[in-house]
Protein backbone atom coordinates (compact mmCIF):
# COMPACT_ATOMS: atom_id res chain seq x y z
CA UNK A 1 0.00 0.00 0.00
CA UNK A 2 1.48 3.41 -0.89
CA UNK A 3 2.02 5.75 2.00
CA UNK A 4 -0.12 8.83 2.29
CA UNK A 5 0.37 12.03 4.27
CA UNK A 6 -2.47 12.15 6.78
CA UNK A 7 -1.47 15.52 8.16
CA UNK A 8 -2.45 17.85 5.36
CA UNK A 9 -5.65 19.90 5.44
CA UNK A 10 -7.11 17.58 8.08
CA UNK A 11 -4.06 17.79 10.33
CA UNK A 12 -4.15 16.15 13.74
CA UNK A 13 -4.33 18.38 16.83
CA UNK A 14 -0.97 19.20 18.39
CA UNK A 15 0.07 16.60 20.92
CA UNK A 16 -0.34 17.62 24.58
CA UNK A 17 3.07 16.03 25.10
CA UNK A 18 4.85 19.22 24.08
CA UNK A 19 2.53 21.61 25.96
CA UNK A 20 3.77 22.73 29.36
CA UNK A 21 1.33 23.58 32.13
CA UNK A 22 1.91 25.51 35.37
CA UNK A 23 -0.23 24.77 38.40
CA UNK A 24 -0.17 25.44 42.15
CA UNK A 25 0.99 22.83 44.65
CA UNK A 26 0.76 23.28 48.41
CA UNK A 27 2.87 22.11 51.33
CA UNK A 28 1.57 23.50 54.60
CA UNK A 29 1.38 27.28 54.18
CA UNK A 30 3.76 27.22 51.20
CA UNK A 31 2.31 27.35 47.68
CA UNK A 32 4.53 27.09 44.61
CA UNK A 33 3.80 26.92 40.89
CA UNK A 34 4.89 23.59 39.43
CA UNK A 35 5.53 22.77 35.77
CA UNK A 36 4.30 19.55 34.20
CA UNK A 37 3.31 17.81 30.97
CA UNK A 38 2.96 14.21 29.81
CA UNK A 39 6.26 12.42 30.32
CA UNK A 40 7.04 14.21 33.59
CA UNK A 41 6.93 12.09 36.75
CA UNK A 42 3.53 12.22 38.49
CA UNK A 43 1.96 14.29 35.70
CA UNK A 44 -1.69 14.97 36.49
CA UNK A 45 -1.48 14.37 40.23
CA UNK A 46 0.55 15.22 43.32
CA UNK A 47 2.95 12.42 44.19
CA UNK A 48 2.31 11.40 47.83
CA UNK A 49 6.03 10.91 48.51
CA UNK A 50 6.93 14.34 47.13
CA UNK A 51 4.11 15.87 49.17
CA UNK A 52 5.47 14.24 52.33
CA UNK A 53 8.98 15.56 51.68
CA UNK A 54 7.73 19.09 50.96
CA UNK A 55 5.50 19.19 54.03
CA UNK A 56 8.35 17.93 56.22
CA UNK A 57 10.64 20.70 54.96
CA UNK A 58 8.02 23.33 55.80
CA UNK A 59 7.27 21.80 59.21
CA UNK A 60 10.92 21.62 60.23
CA UNK A 61 11.82 25.00 58.81
CA UNK A 62 8.95 27.07 60.17
CA UNK A 63 10.30 29.82 57.93
CA UNK A 64 7.36 30.38 55.61
CA UNK A 65 5.21 32.92 57.40
CA UNK A 66 2.28 34.72 55.77
CA UNK A 67 3.41 33.31 52.41
CA UNK A 68 6.69 35.25 52.48
CA UNK A 69 9.75 33.28 51.34
CA UNK A 70 12.82 32.99 53.50
CA UNK A 71 16.09 34.35 52.15
CA UNK A 72 17.60 31.90 49.64
CA UNK A 73 20.53 30.05 51.16
CA UNK A 74 19.90 31.16 54.73
CA UNK A 75 19.60 27.53 55.80
CA UNK A 76 22.43 26.20 53.64
CA UNK A 77 22.53 24.04 50.51
CA UNK A 78 20.07 21.26 49.83
CA UNK A 79 20.26 18.38 47.36
CA UNK A 80 17.11 16.79 45.95
CA UNK A 81 17.63 13.37 44.36
CA UNK A 82 14.96 12.33 41.83
CA UNK A 83 13.58 15.86 41.81
CA UNK A 84 10.71 15.05 39.43
CA UNK A 85 8.76 18.19 38.59
CA UNK A 86 10.77 20.35 41.02
CA UNK A 87 8.06 20.71 43.68
CA UNK A 88 10.27 19.65 46.59
CA UNK A 89 13.30 21.82 45.72
CA UNK A 90 10.97 24.78 45.07
CA UNK A 91 9.53 24.42 48.57
CA UNK A 92 13.07 24.11 49.94
CA UNK A 93 13.98 27.38 48.22
CA UNK A 94 10.97 29.09 49.79
CA UNK A 95 12.09 27.77 53.18
CA UNK A 96 15.56 29.27 52.92
CA UNK A 97 17.66 26.53 51.34
CA UNK A 98 19.78 26.91 48.22
CA UNK A 99 18.58 23.86 46.30
CA UNK A 100 20.13 21.60 43.67
CA UNK A 101 17.51 19.52 41.89
CA UNK A 102 18.96 16.37 40.33
CA UNK A 103 17.13 13.88 38.12
CA UNK A 104 18.25 11.29 35.58
CA UNK A 105 15.37 11.90 33.13
CA UNK A 106 15.38 14.85 30.73
CA UNK A 107 11.64 15.58 30.95
CA UNK A 108 11.88 15.85 34.75
CA UNK A 109 14.94 18.10 34.43
CA UNK A 110 13.05 20.46 32.13
CA UNK A 111 10.10 20.49 34.54
CA UNK A 112 12.39 21.32 37.48
CA UNK A 113 14.03 24.10 35.47
CA UNK A 114 10.65 25.65 34.74
CA UNK A 115 9.45 25.26 38.32
CA UNK A 116 12.65 26.85 39.70
CA UNK A 117 13.13 29.46 36.96
CA UNK A 118 12.56 32.41 39.30
CA UNK A 119 14.65 31.03 42.19
CA UNK A 120 18.00 32.73 41.73
CA UNK A 121 20.79 30.47 42.96
CA UNK A 122 18.85 27.23 42.42
CA UNK A 123 20.64 24.62 40.28
CA UNK A 124 19.14 21.83 38.17
CA UNK A 125 21.31 18.93 36.98
CA UNK A 126 20.64 16.07 34.56
CA UNK A 127 22.46 13.15 36.18
CA UNK A 128 21.87 9.82 37.88
CA UNK A 129 24.33 10.60 40.71
CA UNK A 130 25.53 13.82 42.33
CA UNK A 131 29.17 12.74 41.94
CA UNK A 132 31.55 15.62 41.35
CA UNK A 133 28.63 18.06 41.05
CA UNK A 134 28.27 18.24 44.84
CA UNK A 135 31.29 18.40 47.21
CA UNK A 136 31.54 16.25 50.31
CA UNK A 137 29.88 17.58 53.48
CA UNK A 138 28.46 20.61 51.65
CA UNK A 139 24.70 20.21 52.27
CA UNK A 140 22.49 20.66 55.29
CA UNK A 141 19.57 18.77 53.74
CA UNK A 142 19.17 15.92 51.26
CA UNK A 143 15.81 14.60 50.08
CA UNK A 144 15.39 11.29 48.28
CA UNK A 145 12.25 10.41 46.36
CA UNK A 146 13.17 6.74 46.30
CA UNK A 147 13.56 4.93 42.98
CA UNK A 148 12.00 1.51 42.65
CA UNK A 149 15.12 -0.65 42.48
CA UNK A 150 17.19 -1.54 45.55
CA UNK A 151 20.56 -0.76 43.97
CA UNK A 152 19.54 2.80 43.06
CA UNK A 153 18.26 3.34 46.61
CA UNK A 154 21.63 2.18 47.96
CA UNK A 155 23.47 4.63 45.73
CA UNK A 156 21.16 7.52 46.67
CA UNK A 157 21.65 6.91 50.41
CA UNK A 158 25.41 6.66 49.91
CA UNK A 159 25.39 9.99 48.07
CA UNK A 160 23.25 11.56 50.80
CA UNK A 161 25.66 10.53 53.54
CA UNK A 162 28.65 11.77 51.55
CA UNK A 163 27.32 15.24 50.77
CA UNK A 164 25.71 15.95 54.15
CA UNK A 165 27.56 18.16 56.60
CA UNK A 166 27.74 16.99 60.24
CA UNK A 167 24.29 17.38 61.75
CA UNK A 168 22.65 17.51 58.30
CA UNK A 169 19.31 15.82 57.64
CA UNK A 170 18.36 13.15 55.12
CA UNK A 171 14.66 12.77 54.28
CA UNK A 172 13.58 9.74 52.27
CA UNK A 173 10.05 9.00 51.02
CA UNK A 174 8.39 6.47 48.76
CA UNK A 175 5.68 3.86 48.46
CA UNK A 176 5.58 0.61 50.35
CA UNK A 177 5.38 -1.20 47.01
CA UNK A 178 8.44 0.77 45.85
CA UNK A 179 10.66 -0.57 48.63
CA UNK A 180 10.15 2.04 51.37
CA UNK A 181 10.55 -0.52 54.16
CA UNK A 182 13.89 -1.97 52.92
CA UNK A 183 15.04 1.60 52.25
CA UNK A 184 14.34 2.45 55.88
CA UNK A 185 16.53 -0.45 57.01
CA UNK A 186 19.34 0.67 54.73
CA UNK A 187 19.04 4.24 56.01
CA UNK A 188 19.38 2.92 59.57
CA UNK A 189 22.43 0.82 58.68
CA UNK A 190 24.18 3.86 57.24
CA UNK A 191 23.15 6.67 59.61
CA UNK A 192 22.72 4.51 62.73
CA UNK A 193 19.06 5.44 63.04
CA UNK A 194 15.96 6.15 60.95
CA UNK A 195 12.79 7.79 62.24
CA UNK A 196 9.40 7.14 60.67
CA UNK A 197 7.90 10.63 60.52
CA UNK A 198 4.77 9.99 58.46
CA UNK A 199 2.87 7.33 56.60
CA UNK A 200 -0.26 7.60 54.51
CA UNK A 201 -1.54 6.56 51.08
CA UNK A 202 0.72 3.48 51.39
CA UNK A 203 3.78 5.79 51.48
CA UNK A 204 6.36 6.42 54.17
CA UNK A 205 8.60 9.33 55.15
CA UNK A 206 11.86 8.48 56.94
CA UNK A 207 14.30 10.96 58.47
CA UNK A 208 17.91 10.53 59.64
CA UNK A 209 20.58 12.97 60.77
CA UNK A 210 24.30 12.67 60.13
CA UNK A 211 25.65 12.28 63.65
CA UNK A 212 28.76 10.25 62.81
CA UNK A 213 31.67 10.93 60.47
CA UNK A 214 31.63 7.49 58.84
CA UNK A 215 28.74 5.15 57.98
CA UNK A 216 27.80 2.85 60.85
CA UNK A 217 27.90 -0.06 58.40
CA UNK A 218 30.25 0.80 55.52
CA UNK A 219 29.29 -2.40 53.69
CA UNK A 220 25.72 -1.10 53.35
CA UNK A 221 26.79 1.48 50.78
CA UNK A 222 30.01 -0.01 49.42
CA UNK A 223 29.42 -0.16 45.67
CA UNK A 224 31.57 0.10 42.54
CA UNK A 225 28.65 1.95 40.91
CA UNK A 226 29.45 5.09 42.90
CA UNK A 227 32.31 5.45 40.42
CA UNK A 228 30.62 6.99 37.38
CA UNK A 229 33.36 5.57 35.17
CA UNK A 230 32.42 1.99 36.10
CA UNK A 231 30.38 0.11 33.47
CA UNK A 232 28.88 -3.35 33.15
CA UNK A 233 30.09 -5.04 29.97
CA UNK A 234 27.62 -7.15 27.98
CA UNK A 235 29.03 -8.97 24.91
CA UNK A 236 26.30 -9.19 22.26
CA UNK A 237 25.78 -10.51 18.76
CA UNK A 238 22.75 -9.00 17.08
CA UNK A 239 21.67 -7.75 13.67
CA UNK A 240 24.76 -9.31 12.08
CA UNK A 241 27.14 -7.40 14.36
CA UNK A 242 29.22 -8.45 17.36
CA UNK A 243 30.26 -5.83 19.95
CA UNK A 244 30.09 -4.99 23.66
CA UNK A 245 27.34 -2.99 25.36
CA UNK A 246 28.45 -0.77 28.24
CA UNK A 247 25.66 -0.33 30.78
CA UNK A 248 24.89 0.90 34.29
CA UNK A 249 22.11 0.24 36.83
CA UNK A 250 18.87 1.97 35.98
CA UNK A 251 19.50 1.96 32.23
CA UNK A 252 16.87 -0.09 30.42
CA UNK A 253 17.73 -3.81 30.42
CA UNK A 254 21.19 -3.02 31.78
CA UNK A 255 22.23 -6.62 32.52
CA UNK A 256 21.49 -8.12 29.10
CA UNK A 257 20.32 -7.26 25.59
CA UNK A 258 16.54 -7.31 25.77
CA UNK A 259 14.55 -9.55 23.43
CA UNK A 260 12.67 -6.71 21.72
CA UNK A 261 15.81 -4.78 20.80
CA UNK A 262 17.47 -7.95 19.55
CA UNK A 263 14.42 -8.62 17.36
CA UNK A 264 14.37 -5.09 15.93
CA UNK A 265 18.10 -5.22 15.17
CA UNK A 266 17.50 -8.26 12.98
CA UNK A 267 14.40 -6.89 11.21
CA UNK A 268 15.26 -3.26 10.46
CA UNK A 269 16.72 -2.51 7.02
CA UNK A 270 19.55 0.00 6.93
CA UNK A 271 21.13 0.79 3.56
CA UNK A 272 24.64 2.17 3.12
CA UNK A 273 24.76 5.95 3.31
CA UNK A 274 21.41 6.37 5.07
CA UNK A 275 20.87 8.70 8.03
CA UNK A 276 19.39 6.92 11.06
CA UNK A 277 17.70 8.22 14.21
CA UNK A 278 17.21 5.97 17.27
CA UNK A 279 14.65 7.31 19.76
CA UNK A 280 15.14 5.89 23.25
CA UNK A 281 18.51 4.37 22.44
CA UNK A 282 19.32 2.82 25.84
CA UNK A 283 22.89 1.56 25.85
CA UNK A 284 23.21 2.03 22.08
CA UNK A 285 22.80 -1.44 20.55
CA UNK A 286 20.66 -0.40 17.56
CA UNK A 287 22.96 2.51 16.76
CA UNK A 288 26.01 0.29 16.50
CA UNK A 289 24.14 -2.16 14.27
CA UNK A 290 23.04 0.72 12.01
CA UNK A 291 26.61 2.00 11.80
CA UNK A 292 27.91 -1.48 10.97
CA UNK A 293 25.38 -1.63 8.11
CA UNK A 294 26.95 1.48 6.59
CA UNK A 295 24.77 4.33 7.83
CA UNK A 296 26.49 7.64 7.15
CA UNK A 297 25.10 9.27 10.30
CA UNK A 298 23.44 7.78 13.37
CA UNK A 299 21.88 10.01 16.01
CA UNK A 300 21.07 8.30 19.32
CA UNK A 301 18.69 10.06 21.72
CA UNK A 302 17.61 9.09 25.23
CA UNK A 303 16.08 10.90 28.18
CA UNK A 304 18.15 8.95 30.74
CA UNK A 305 21.44 10.66 31.64
CA UNK A 306 23.20 7.34 32.27
CA UNK A 307 21.85 5.84 29.04
CA UNK A 308 23.51 8.71 27.16
CA UNK A 309 26.84 7.99 28.89
CA UNK A 310 26.48 4.25 28.27
CA UNK A 311 25.57 4.64 24.58
CA UNK A 312 28.51 7.00 24.12
CA UNK A 313 30.87 4.45 25.64
CA UNK A 314 29.34 1.61 23.58
CA UNK A 315 29.81 3.57 20.34
CA UNK A 316 33.38 4.58 21.19
CA UNK A 317 34.45 1.06 22.08
CA UNK A 318 32.79 -0.32 18.94
CA UNK A 319 34.70 2.18 16.79
CA UNK A 320 31.43 3.58 15.43
CA UNK A 321 32.53 7.09 14.47
CA UNK A 322 29.27 7.86 12.63
CA UNK A 323 27.36 7.87 15.93
CA UNK A 324 26.33 11.01 17.82
CA UNK A 325 24.64 10.61 21.24
CA UNK A 326 22.53 13.27 22.93
CA UNK A 327 20.21 13.65 25.90
CA UNK A 328 16.69 14.33 24.70
CA UNK A 329 13.03 14.29 25.63
CA UNK A 330 11.89 12.07 22.72
CA UNK A 331 13.28 13.78 19.55
CA UNK A 332 13.67 17.31 20.89
CA UNK A 333 17.48 17.32 20.62
CA UNK A 334 17.34 16.37 16.92
CA UNK A 335 16.18 19.88 16.11
CA UNK A 336 15.25 20.26 12.44
CA UNK A 337 17.47 17.41 11.22
CA UNK A 338 15.82 14.84 8.94
CA UNK A 339 16.53 11.12 8.54
CA UNK A 340 15.99 8.20 6.17
CA UNK A 341 15.17 5.79 8.99
CA UNK A 342 13.83 6.09 12.55
CA UNK A 343 14.09 3.08 14.84
CA UNK A 344 12.62 2.93 18.31
CA UNK A 345 11.91 0.59 21.19
CA UNK A 346 9.77 3.09 23.12
CA UNK A 347 9.06 2.90 26.86
CA UNK A 348 5.79 1.14 27.66
CA UNK A 349 4.49 3.92 29.91
CA UNK A 350 0.79 3.41 29.45
CA UNK A 351 -0.30 3.66 33.08
CA UNK A 352 -3.70 1.95 33.17
CA UNK A 353 -3.78 1.66 29.40
CA UNK A 354 -5.66 4.89 28.62
CA UNK A 355 -2.86 7.49 28.52
CA UNK A 356 -1.16 7.20 25.13
CA UNK A 357 0.57 10.60 25.13
CA UNK A 358 4.09 9.14 25.35
CA UNK A 359 3.84 6.55 22.53
CA UNK A 360 1.97 9.14 20.44
CA UNK A 361 4.89 11.54 20.94
CA UNK A 362 7.39 8.90 19.79
CA UNK A 363 5.34 8.22 16.66
CA UNK A 364 4.45 11.81 15.69
CA UNK A 365 7.99 13.05 16.31
CA UNK A 366 9.33 10.16 14.23
CA UNK A 367 7.10 11.32 11.37
CA UNK A 368 8.28 14.91 11.72
CA UNK A 369 11.93 13.90 11.46
CA UNK A 370 11.65 11.52 8.51
CA UNK A 371 12.42 12.56 4.96
CA UNK A 372 9.77 11.78 2.31
CA UNK A 373 10.05 8.05 1.70
CA UNK A 374 11.71 7.58 5.09
CA UNK A 375 10.93 4.47 7.14
CA UNK A 376 9.81 3.96 10.75
CA UNK A 377 10.57 0.71 12.58
CA UNK A 378 8.96 0.36 16.02
CA UNK A 379 9.15 -2.70 18.26
CA UNK A 380 6.63 -3.26 21.02
CA UNK A 381 4.87 -5.82 23.12
CA UNK A 382 2.31 -7.27 20.74
CA UNK A 383 -0.59 -6.33 23.05
CA UNK A 384 0.11 -2.59 22.90
CA UNK A 385 -2.28 -0.67 20.59
CA UNK A 386 0.26 1.26 18.54
CA UNK A 387 -1.12 0.44 15.10
CA UNK A 388 -3.87 3.04 15.18
CA UNK A 389 -1.45 5.70 16.42
CA UNK A 390 0.84 4.98 13.47
CA UNK A 391 -2.02 4.88 10.98
CA UNK A 392 -3.51 8.21 12.08
CA UNK A 393 -0.08 9.84 11.73
CA UNK A 394 1.37 8.14 8.62
CA UNK A 395 -1.83 7.01 6.90
CA UNK A 396 -0.70 3.37 6.89
CA UNK A 397 0.77 0.62 9.03
CA UNK A 398 3.27 -1.97 7.87
CA UNK A 399 4.07 -5.10 9.88
CA UNK A 400 7.65 -6.32 9.61
CA UNK A 401 7.34 -9.03 12.28
CA UNK A 402 4.47 -10.43 14.34
CA UNK A 403 5.63 -12.84 17.03
CA UNK A 404 4.12 -14.38 20.13
CA UNK A 405 5.55 -11.69 22.43
CA UNK A 406 6.73 -8.79 20.27
CA UNK A 407 5.89 -7.15 16.98
CA UNK A 408 7.84 -4.81 14.69
CA UNK A 409 5.53 -2.34 13.01
CA UNK A 410 6.03 0.91 11.16
CA UNK A 411 5.29 2.92 8.07
CA UNK A 412 6.79 4.94 5.23
CA UNK A 413 6.37 8.71 5.18
CA UNK A 414 4.76 9.90 1.98
CA UNK A 415 5.93 12.84 -0.07
pLDDT in tens, 62-89: 544 445 556 777 899 999 999 999 999 9
Q: Can you spell out the DSSP letters for 93-122?
A: HHTT-EEEEEESBHHHHHHHHHHTTT-TT-
pLDDT at residue 355, rounded to an integer: 58
Which residue, of 225, 242, 257, is where some domain finishes? 225
Q: Is the pTM of this model over 0.85?
A: yes
Looking at the structure, tell me whether residues 198 and 287 fall in a common domain: no
Looking at the structure, tell me whether residues 241 and 189 fall in a common domain: no
Is the pLDDT at 351 greater than 50? The verdict is: no
Establish if 7 belongs to a structural domain: no
Looking at the structure, tell me whether residues 219 and 284 fall in a common domain: no
Sheet holding 398-402, edge to edge: 323-327, 297-302, 275-279, 339-344, 370-381, 406-412, 398-402
Establish if 10 belongs to a structural domain: no
Establish if 53 belongs to a structural domain: yes
Looking at the structure, tell me whether residues 197 and 330 fall in a common domain: no
pLDDT band at 348, cuts 50/70/90? low
Q: CA 18, 15, 370 angle in degrees (round to 5)? A: 90
Establish if 389 belongs to a structural domain: yes
Looking at the structure, tell me whether residues 189 and 252 fall in a common domain: no
Looking at the structure, tell me whether residues 221 and 236 fall in a common domain: no
* CB contact burial 89-121 (16+ within 10 A = b; e otherwise): bbbbbbbbbbbbbbbbbbbbbbbbbbbbeebee
Establish if 148 belongs to a structural domain: yes
Residue 366 domain boundaries: 232-412
Is the pLDDT at 359 greater than 60? The verdict is: yes
pLDDT tens column, 87-102: 999 999 999 999 999 9
pLDDT at residue 54, rounded to an integer: 97
Looking at the structure, tell me whether residues 99 and 200 fall in a common domain: yes
Looking at the structure, tell me whether residues 130 and 259 fall in a common domain: no
Looking at the structure, tell me whether residues 191 and 274 fall in a common domain: no
CB neighbour list of residue 12: distance below 8 Å, 6 or more residues apart: 6, 364, 392, 393
Establish if 372 belongs to a structural domain: yes
Distance CA 179, CA 70 (A): 34
pLDDT tens column, 279-296: 999 999 999 999 999 999
Looking at the structure, tell me whether residues 191 and 261 fall in a common domain: no
Establish if 5 belongs to a structural domain: no
Looking at the structure, tell me whether residues 152 and 44 fall in a common domain: yes
Establish if 131 belongs to a structural domain: yes
Looking at the structure, tell me whether residues 40 and 101 fall in a common domain: yes
Q: How many domains does the chain have?
A: 2
pLDDT tens column, 234-274: 999 999 999 999 999 999 999 999 999 999 999 999 999 99
Which residue, of 188, 204, 225, is where some domain finishes? 225
Of residues 147 and 165, the one with the higher pLDDT is: 165
pLDDT tens column, 295-319: 999 999 999 999 999 999 999 999 9
Q: What is the CATH number of the domain that holds 357?
A: 3.40.50.150
pLDDT at residue 176, rounded to an integer: 94
Which residue, of 155, 190, 225, is where some domain finishes? 225
Amino acid sequence: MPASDSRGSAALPASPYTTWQMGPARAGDCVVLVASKPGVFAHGHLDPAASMLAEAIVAVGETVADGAPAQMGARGRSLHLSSGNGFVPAVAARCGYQPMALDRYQSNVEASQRTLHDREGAVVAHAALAGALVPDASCTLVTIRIPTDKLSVQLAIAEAFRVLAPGGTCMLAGGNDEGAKPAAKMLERVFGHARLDAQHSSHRLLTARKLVDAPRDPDAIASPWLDEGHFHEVPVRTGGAAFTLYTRPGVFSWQHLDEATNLLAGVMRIDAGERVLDLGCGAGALGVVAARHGASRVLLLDADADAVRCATRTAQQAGATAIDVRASDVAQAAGDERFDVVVTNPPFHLGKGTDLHIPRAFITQSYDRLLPGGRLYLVANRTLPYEWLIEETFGEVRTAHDGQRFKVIGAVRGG
